[in-house]
Amino acid sequence: MILVELTNRQSRLRIDETRLRDAIRTVLLGEGLADGQVSVAVVDGPEMHELNRRHLAHDFPTDVLSFVLERDGETLDGEIVVSADEAILNAPKYGWPPEAELTLYAIHGALHLCGYDDLDAASAEVMRARERHWLAQEGLPSAGRDAAGPLVETQPGVAENRP
């Protein structure tokens, strides 16, 4: 069983917490994890900026951070942090609602927890394909988002979208 705990620490974007938790759980189970716990935090831009600065020494906001705390075979303990402000800012560029953009960030973070990265073109394409697959499972098209460029991983297991 995979437990996904979600904390909403922002007030700008209405979050369907059940749908977001279920999307993350679906990705983790579908990618072969059987047991574990994932903490998810939906935060605002200033908090995400501070987390990015504190954990990665990057002095700018980002859209998603993910951290594997412990992984043993099919068991995982991890964290995903997503920025509602970045979703609000970026969604219009791709012609879909901020909630869909936030779901993409959560899926991207979950894929990192499963071991995917996007450090080079080949691994980034694999990541994009998995994102498209899981977005489709959520009933969300991804064509507009793919054309605009991928999220960028700056160190293994930590994803972020550069400004």
Instruction: Tell me how crowded residue 143 is: count the other CB atoms within 10 A of its CB.
Output: 11
Domain of residue 7, CATH code: 3.40.390.30
Q: How far apart are CA 4 and CA 14, in angstroms?
A: 19
Q: Which residue has the higher pLDDT, 115 or 142?
A: 115
pLDDT above 90: residue 51: yes
On average, the pLDDT of the chain sits at 89
Q: Which domain, by its residues, includes 9? A: 2-160
> 98-113 and 17-30 are packed helices; what angle lies between their axes, rounded to 10 degrees?
30
Domain count, the chain: 1
* Locus of tokens 């831009």: 45
pLDDT above 50: residue 156: no
* Amino acid 142: pLDDT: 73
The answer to whether the beta carbons of residues 88 and 100 sit under 8 Å apart is no
Averaged pLDDT for residues 6-25: 97
Q: How far apart are CA 115 and CA 71, in angstroms?
A: 10
pLDDT above 80: residue 162: no
User: Which of 85, 110, 112, 90 lies closest to 101 in space, CA to CA?
Assistant: 90
For 105-141, what is each residue's pLDDT tens digit?
999 999 999 999 998 999 999 999 999 999 999 999 8
